[in-house]
Amino acid sequence: MAEAARAYLLDVRNVSKRFGGLTAVRNVSLQVPAGTVYGLIGPNGAGKTTVFNLLTGVYAPTDGQILFDGTPIHGRRPHQIARYGITRTFQNIRLFSDMTVLENVMTAHHLRTAQNIFDAIVGTGRSHREEREMRERAMHLLSIFGLAGLADEPATSLPYGSQRRLEIARALATRPRLLLLDEPAAGMNPQEAVGLMDTIRWIRDEFSLTVLLVEHNMKVVMGICETIQVIDHGESIATGTPAEIQSNPRVIEAYLGAC
C-alpha cells in the first residue's frame, strides 16, 4: 500500500483543533489524491473553514499531522505553506481593495520572484525582467478568466462574480499544486455557478492542479467533485462519491436533523 499512500497529494491524519473548551475539529482525516476535485461539505458551523485554516497555516492543529506531498506542513506559517504550493480563496472575498485588477494578480506572483529588495532599489536588470514577466503572466491569467479588459480597473469595482473569479486568478498566480476554494459559488446565480464548474474543471486540467473545495451549493458539489467528505460538529461522518453521499443516512440526518 506504499504506492497508494504516495498518491495522496494532501494527507491529513487525525487532526484536531481546540479553542479553549471548544473542539472545532475532532480527529478529522482527509486524503486527497493528486489531480482530483475533492469536496468538503457539512452544515453551517461544522468546522469546514477551520479545516481550511488548519491547512493554510492560519491555525496550528492541536493534534495530528498534515502532510503535503509527503512533507509535514502542520504548524507552518501561511506564507511558508503558500511556498509549498497550497493557495486558497476566501469565503468573504479578500482582494487587495485599493489595487487594480492587474496589480492584485501581480502581487501574488511576488512569491515566485528571485529578486531581493536591493534589486528593486537599484533597479537592476533582474528586477526589470521579472517585472515584465510578472505583468505578462498576470495578463495571461486575467485573459483566461475574461478579465483582461478590466486589468486597470480598481478590483473592488468589479461585480461580485468577477471578484470571485479574480480571487481564483490571484490564487493561481502563486503557482499552487493544491487550490483550496472556500465557497467559490457563494452569491453566484445559477448560470454563473455552472460557468464556475466549467472553469474549475478547466483550470484543474490546464494547470494540473488538485482542487479542494468547500461549498454549500449542492448542484456544484455533486457536479464536479469526484470525492466528497462530509463533516458535522467537527467530525468526519462520511466519505464517498457523490452518489454514495446522497444516499448515506448519516449525511441525510446531519442535514435534515434526526427523524
Binding residues (CB under 8 A) for other proteins: these are 56-58, 77-79, 82-83, 87-88, 90, 94-99, 103, 106-111, 113, 115, 117, 120-123, 127, 130-131, 134, 142-152, 170-171, 173-174
The answer to whether 228 and 239 have CB atoms below 8 angstroms apart is yes
Instruction: Determine the residue type at 172.
Output: L
C-alpha cell at 72: 509535514
Smallest separation, CB 143 to other proteins (Å): 4
Nearer to other proteins, 3 or 152 (CB): 152
Q: According to the 3-state scheme, what is the secondary structure of 51-81?
A: HHHHHCCCCCCCEEEEEECCEECCCCCHHHH
User: What's the rounded Cα separation, in Å, for the pair 192 and 145?
Assistant: 13
H or E stretch at 161: helix 160-173
Nearer to other proteins, 151 or 251 (CB): 151
Nearer to other proteins, 162 or 210 (CB): 162
Nearer to other proteins, 133 or 226 (CB): 133
Smallest separation, CB 50 to other proteins (Å): 15
**134 Cβ partners below 8 Å, 6+ apart?**
106, 109, 110, 113
The answer to whether 178 and 83 have CB atoms below 8 angstroms apart is no
Nearer to other proteins, 138 or 228 (CB): 138
The answer to whether 240 and 66 have CB atoms below 8 angstroms apart is no
Smallest separation, CB 69 to other proteins (Å): 17
User: What's the rounded Cα separation, in Å, for the pair 12 and 134?
Assistant: 33
Residues 205, 89, 111, 59, CA torsion sign: negative
Nearer to other proteins, 16 or 124 (CB): 124
Smallest separation, CB 103 to other proteins (Å): 6
